[in-house]
Amino acid sequence: MTVFPDFLQAAMSPDRWPTFVLITARIGGLMLTAPGWSGTSLPRLVRTALTVVLAALLLPTTPVAHLPQGDRHPAARRGRDGDRAHHRPGRRR
C-alpha cells in the first residue's frame, strides 16, 4: 500500500525536484505581485498552500528542468579559481 498515488509519486521523484522548485518560484511570484492574490484579504498561509498545491498539480505537465553540470556553471569555477573567475583584466577593485 502506497501513501501517494502513482502519478504523484513519479512526479515527486528526486530528478523532478528542480522543476518543482522552479514552478513554485514562478507561482510564488504571482502570489506576491498579482492583484487579488497579493492583498491582505488572503492569509499568508492560504497563499502558501495554494502555491504548493498548484505547483504539485502542474508538475506532471511540465518537462524536466535540466540544471548545469560540472564546470559550465560559474559557481562551480569559483571554488577552484577563487575570485579570478570574475576578475576582468585592466579593472581595479
Which string of DSSP letters, residue by residue, matches the chain? --SS-HHHHHHTSGGGHHHHHHHHHHHHHHHHHSTTTSSTTS-HHHHHHHHHHHHHHHGGGSPPPPPP-GGGSHHHHHHHHGGGGTPPTT---
Q: Which comes out higher in pLDDT, residue 27 or 1? A: 27
Which residues does 14 contact at the CB level (< 8 Å), separation at least 6? none
Dig out the grid coordinates for 38 from the structure: 497579493
When pLDDT is averaged across residues 3-23 and rounded to a whole number, the result is 77
pLDDT tier for residue 15 given thresholds of 50, 70 and 90:
confident
How much of the chain exceeds pLDDT 90, in percent? Answer: 17
Residue given cell 502558501 in the structure block:
48
Say what the pLDDT of residue 38 is: 79
Say what the pLDDT of residue 16 is: 83
